[in-house]
Structure 1
Amino acid sequence: MKWQGINEFVAVAETQSFSAAAKLLKISTAQVSRQVSALEKRLQVKLFYRTTRKVSLTQEAQLFYQHCRNLLDGLDNAEQAITNLQSSPQGKIKLTVPVTYGEQKVLPLVNDFVALHNGIEVTTELNNHRVDLIDGGFDVAIRLGHLQDSSLIAKQLSQRSNYVCASEAYLQANGEAHSLSELKHHNCLLGTRDYWRFVEQGKEKNLRVKGNLRCNSGVALVDAAIKGIGIVQLPDYYVHSYIESGELFTILDQFREPAEGIWAVYPQNRYLSPKIRLLIEYLGKHLE
């Protein structure tokens, strides 16, 4: 309400004409006159001396004009600052990522991103717990697999697949499992869950398995599998390089479940600023 009539007042003051101000603002002369009259009524002061030939500012209007001009210049500067952020984003981003996936996949890309955009500062917290973004002050989180129902907005960046693997030494000593039922005869190396996930006859199946080693570190489980201690089920980013090198072999591929999503999630009530959108797009491009 307080801004009403300011643009019209400044335009008239600078052009010294209601018609010229109307042309400048691309509105009617009558509308300019109404807005200025309403402003004068609200301020309870006369702003212009009007004659048939000339429009001039009153003493009060000259003082008021300087303040209004400064306000409009400040608004222009604020809009220009936002425009500059759009073209060259800058500022702080707080990110949370699962530990191993973050170390292997995300953080190298974040480093590259910061090198490209030196006006952006990224703080990354590696955490395998599902943190609350709002309470933790996080702008965005990278999450793996099936997402829980929530009010967060999710954008898929990539996907992952789980592989069941064993070393050649283990398979030679214990034989290869060809069906899910045969896993009960094998030493299954466990992480945080005591079941593995499969698809059998088109249906998802969580199969309880047993073994003599449990650890909440995928890196440690890969090491145990390479050393022939047992069979492991882990996402591709843990085992892919070892499969390629021949240190691990995949088994039970026919029961592998479909690939899961890797997601960037962020609060729906938080404006997705250019710097965050740029980071999400960068990660999506390079993780894919």
Structure 2
Amino acid sequence: MPAIDDLILFTQVIEHGSFSRVAELNGITKSVVSKRISKLEKELGVQLLYRTTRKLSLTEAGEVLNRRAKNLNQVAQSAFDAITGYSESMSGHIRMSVPTISGELLLADVVSDFCNRHPGLTVDMSMDNHFVDLVADNYDLVIRTGYLEDSSLIARHIFNSRWVICASPAYLDRNGIPQTPVALSRHNCLGYTHQSTGTFDWQFSHDNRLYTHKVSGNFASNNAAALKKAVLAGNGVAYFPTCLVYDELQKGELIEILAGHVGKVVGIYAVYPFTRTPSKRIQALIEHIREGYLAMKERF
């Protein structure tokens, strides 16, 4: 069976139309290129090229082989690139984007700890709830919640975030505790505009099936911290990621309601471009972030 590198050399000769140019690209002599093409022809038992002093042209067999083998060089380079990251040093710069809630509650500590463990690394972490354009905005890594629709990206699942519905004791004393999602129609439901299901389309579960129920209220915000302040002030009921209100629930400053009906669990993903094999430092950072979430799993 012919050597793969001889097939790649053959496709390079066709691409550049010159033995001399291919010899220069590969750091070998022109005669070596010619001998390897001749060797390939001998092994296949067919002539692949017509050689003249002025140009090279393909035989019919050469055309067939070139059509089938012209992607070999790209495939081989992709395979080499896939393992290059494993031998690189843990140094360089990483540009990443994370959601504001996770960034403030967990990722700022986790990522800065990662930098301290690897002195040659620097990280620029921006916090944004919108799904940024990784390629156009030149991000190496993005942490996001929800579902991935862009097939040009790769997402690695890190963790699941459970959501809760809660209100302050004062609000519940004044308005009563709703026992069913339908009963929320009598309550002031405060909306988080970054909910994937919609600001006032809250997700519930019944008989292991998810459904949404529309609620209403007099206040909504794209800032979860501001919304939490409104709930703590006794102004209504809200649907939050558990991590955002974990401490307040433990202290009794907020009360979880409708626990048996809540069905919202959101995946947390590390996302990077499909065409870019993650380097060793990116893979290490993703794993460090995953461990950070697992260490605080009771809060999520």
Contact 1:5 1:39 in 2 (8 A): no
- How much is the aligned-residue C-alpha RMSD, in angstroms? 2.7
Larger-gyration structure (1/2)? 1
Please report how far the alpha carbon of residue 174 of structure 1 lies from its aligned counterpart in structure 2 after TM superposition.
0.7
- 2:231 is the counterpart of 1:241: no
d(CA) in 2 for partners of 1:3 and 1:269?
28
Q: Deviations over 1:135-182 (max 9, x none)?
A: 010111101123324221111111101100011111111110001110
Distance 1:171 1:136, change over 3 A: same
Q: 3-state SS of the aligned residue for 2:192?
A: coil
Please report how far the alpha carbon of residue 268 of structure 1 lies from its aligned counterpart in structure 2 after TM superposition.
1.2
d(CA) in 1 for partners of 2:33 and 2:112?
57
Mean CA deviation greater in 245-254 or 210-219: 210-219
- TM-score, structure 1 as length reference: 0.70
1:2 is aligned, of 17, 23, 37, to 23
- State the partner residue of 1:165: 166
Q: Deviations over 1:185-230 (max 9, x none)?
A: 0111112112211112332222211112222211111111111111
2:233 is aligned, of 224, 227, 233, to 227
- State the partner residue of 2:140: 139
Contact 1:204 1:257 in 2 (8 A): yes
- State the partner residue of 2:211: 205
Contact 1:4 1:39 in 2 (8 A): no
- State the partner residue of 1:279: 285
Please report how far the alpha carbon of residue 283 of structure 1 lies from its aligned counterpart in structure 2 after TM superposition.
0.6
- State the partner residue of 1:101: 102
Q: 3-state SS of the aligned residue for 2:210?
A: strand
- TM-score, structure 2 as length reference: 0.68
Amino acid at match of 1:153: I
Q: Which consecutive residues of structure 2, in runs of 5 or more, have no partner in the other structure?
A: 1-21, 36-82, 194-198, 295-300
Q: 3-state SS of the aligned residue for 2:220?
A: coil
- State the partner residue of 1:21: none
d(CA) in 1 for partners of 2:101 and 2:234?
22
- State the partner residue of 2:155: 154
d(CA) in 2 for partners of 1:38 and 1:177?
85
Amino acid at match of 1:180: P
Mean CA deviation greater in 174-183 or 83-92: 83-92
Q: Which consecutive residues of structure 1, in runs of 5 or more, have no partner in the other structure?
A: 8-35, 43-81
Please report how far the alpha carbon of residue 260 of structure 1 lies from its aligned counterpart in structure 2 after TM superposition.
2.1
Q: 3-state SS of the aligned residue for 2:212?
A: strand
d(CA) in 1 for partners of 2:267 and 2:274?
19
Equivalenced residue count is: 222
d(CA) in 2 for partners of 1:200 and 1:149?
30
Contact 2:157 2:269 in 1 (8 A): yes
